[in-house]
Structure formats: C-alpha cells, structure tokens
C-alpha cells in the first residue's frame, strides 16, 4: 500500500514546517493554506478515523487544539478560528488530521514563511 503524505512526513521522507511535536502528535503548517496560518495536527502513528485514537492521546490532542487556537488569537491576531476534522468518506487523506484554520476580518497577507517564524518564535 502506498504511504500517505502524513506518514511520509512522519518518516522524514517529506519536509514540513513543525510548530509543535511530542512523542504522539505533531502540529505542522498546511502546505496549501486556505487561510494564512492554516495548521494541521497529525498523530505520529498511522490511524485514519477519530475512533481509532486511544483516549489518552485524544485527551492530549484536545489540549493541543486549545493551545493552537490561543496561538491563532495571540500570535497571528486572528479574529476567529475554525477547527475541522473529517472521518470516513469525508476524508481526503486517509490519515487522521485536524485542521486549525485562523480567520481574519481583514485580509492577512503574511506568507507561510513569515507565519512559521512568528509561530515558532513564540514558544513558551
Ligand atoms: Zn498515515
């Protein structure tokens, strides 16, 4: 079976801009952001559906979602944040992932690179 893009990223076969990482989960910049600062949270081991994730990792994931929403407001000055996670036939890439999409009242013209620098310079 052909490896999906997130497994390739996790195995170091494809590059990514990493915002956060622990032993189970990783937050990366989406290469094709729908809005500046679009991030993805992915598990390091391959699972597809939310129901395949163990409860402990799921709880940790929720904490990370909250942290990233905070970053969107405080670092990127977003006016709102959309969180999307698809399962089953709704999924385009069959590797579990959560979209964190900051939204702005006024157009934000920051590039991916500028946003990456901002997000990684503000580590607590
Ligand atoms: Zn995978």
pLDDT at 122: 59
Distance CA 78, CA 36 (A): 10
Distance in Å from the first CA to the final CA of the chain:
40
- Give catalytic residue positions: 97
Contacts of 51 (CB under 8 A, 6+ apart): 87
CATH number at residue 57: 3.30.428.10
* pLDDT above 90: residue 123: no
pLDDT at 107: 87
Return the half-sphere exposure (C-beta side, CA atoms, 13 A cut-off) of residue 33.
Answer: 21
- C-alpha 33 – ligand 1 centre gap (Å): 20
pTM metric for this prediction? 0.94
pLDDT in tens, 22-49: 999 999 999 999 999 999 999 999 999 9
Q: 99 versus 121: which is more confidently predicted? A: 99
pLDDT in tens, 63-95: 999 999 999 999 999 999 999 999 999 999 999
Return the half-sphere exposure (C-beta side, CA atoms, 13 A cut-off) of residue 121.
Answer: 9
The total domain count for the chain is 1
Range of the domain at 115: 5-121
- C-alpha 10 – ligand 1 centre gap (Å): 8
């Amino acid at each position: 079976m052909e490896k999906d893009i997130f497994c390739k990223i996790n195995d170091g076969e494809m590059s990514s801009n990493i915002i956060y990482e622990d032993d189970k989960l990783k937050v990366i910049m989406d290469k094709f952001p729908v809005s500046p600062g679009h991030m993805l949270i992915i598990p390091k081991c391959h699972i597809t559906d939310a129901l395949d994730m163990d409860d402990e990792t799921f709880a940790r994931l929720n904490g990370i979602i909250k942290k990233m929403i905070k970053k969107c407001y405080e670092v990127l000055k977003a006016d709102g944040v959309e969180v999307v996670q698809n399962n089953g036939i709704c999924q385009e890439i069959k590797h579990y992932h959560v979209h964190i999409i900051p939204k702005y009242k006024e157009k934000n013209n920051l590039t991916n690179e500028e946003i990456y620098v901002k997000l990684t310079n503000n580590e607590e």
